[in-house]
Chain A
Amino acid sequence: MIKLMYSCKQAAKLSSRAMEQPLAPAERVLLSLHLLMCKGCTGFAQQIEFLRRASRKIPEVLEKDGD
C-alpha cells in the first residue's frame, strides 16, 4: 500500500524545508492534506514563519540596546 499520509514529523520537516526551497508537487499536496487535518502542524508552520519574521528584526533590536 502506498503511504498517503505524512506523520507530524514528516509534515513539520517539510514545512521547514519549504522555507528553503520549493517542494515537489506531490510533497505540496500531501503536506496541505496533512495540514488541513492537523492543528498542531498548522501551528508549527505558522510559528516558524513568525520566528523568521522575528529573527530578521534582531539587528534592530541590537541597535536599540544602546550605544
Chain B
Amino acid sequence: MAEQDDLAQSLEAHRKYLQRYAQFHLRDASLAEDAVQDTLIAALAQRDRFQGRSQLRTWLTGILKHKIIDLTRSRGRGLPADALVLGEDSDSNDGSFNAKGKWVDPPADWGMPDAALESNQFWRVYQDCCQRMSRRDALVFSMREVMGLSSEEICKKIEITTTNLHVILFRARLSLRSCMSKNWFGTHHD
C-alpha cells in the first residue's frame, strides 16, 4: 500500500503539466481535467507496464494523448463526423487567394525564423494564433504537428478521409502562417 501511495504522489507532481498539455489540445479546462484524471487513473491501473524504461512524464503523456482523442470521440466535442465532409473547395473561402488562385497577400520573407523559438513572447503569439482556428482544425493540426501522430493514425482514430485531413491541415497551416506573419514576423519585438 505504501508503494501505491508513492506512485500516486509522483503522479500528482505531473498533474499541472498534463493539465497544460491537455488544455492546449482541447481548449476546454474541464474537458482537459477529465482527460488528466482518466490518465492518472489509467496510470495507476497499468503501473506494471511502467518499468522506468522511459521518463514517468513521457509515459504519462503517451497515455494522455490517447485519453484526449478518446474524449473528443466519445463526446463528439469539436469533431462532428458529418461536418467533416468537406467540399474540395471549402478551403478557398479563407481569403488567402483570389478567384484566380493568386495570393491576396503573398507570404513575405521570415528571414531566419528559428531564432524566435527562444522567445517566450513568440510562444504566446503562437498559442494565440492556434486559438483562432476552429476547435476541430486546431485539434487535428495539433494531433499531427504537436503529438506527432501519423496521417494514417489520425484518419483512423477520428474517422476522417485522407482528403479531409489534407483539407483541414492546409486550412490550419494557412491560418497559422498568416497569423504568425501578421503578429510576429511582421512586427517589431524585443
Are A and B co-members of a single complex? Answer: yes
- Chain A residues with CB under 8 Å of B174's CB are 12
Kindly state the interface size class of chain B when it binds its partner: 35 or more
In the bound complex, how far is the Cα of B24 from the Cα of A44, in angstroms?
A: 25
Judge whether A56 and B148 touch: CB under 8 Å. yes
Chain A residues touching B, majority SS? helix
Chain B residues touching A, majority SS? helix
- Chain B residues with CB under 8 Å of A12's CB are 96-97, 170, 174
Kindly state the interface size class of chain A when it binds its partner: 20 to 34
Q: Total number of A-B contacts with CB less than 8 angstroms?
A: 97
- Chain A residues with CB under 8 Å of B148's CB are 56
Q: Which of B105-154 contact A (CB under 8 A)?
A: 106-110, 113-114, 116-117, 123, 126, 141-142, 145-146, 148, 151
- Ordered by A's residue number, 13 sampled pairs between the chains whose C-beta atoms are within 8 Å are A7-B100, A8-B97, A12-B170, A16-B170, A20-B165, A20-B166, A20-B169, A47-B180, A54-B126, A57-B117, A58-B24, A59-B21, A63-B17
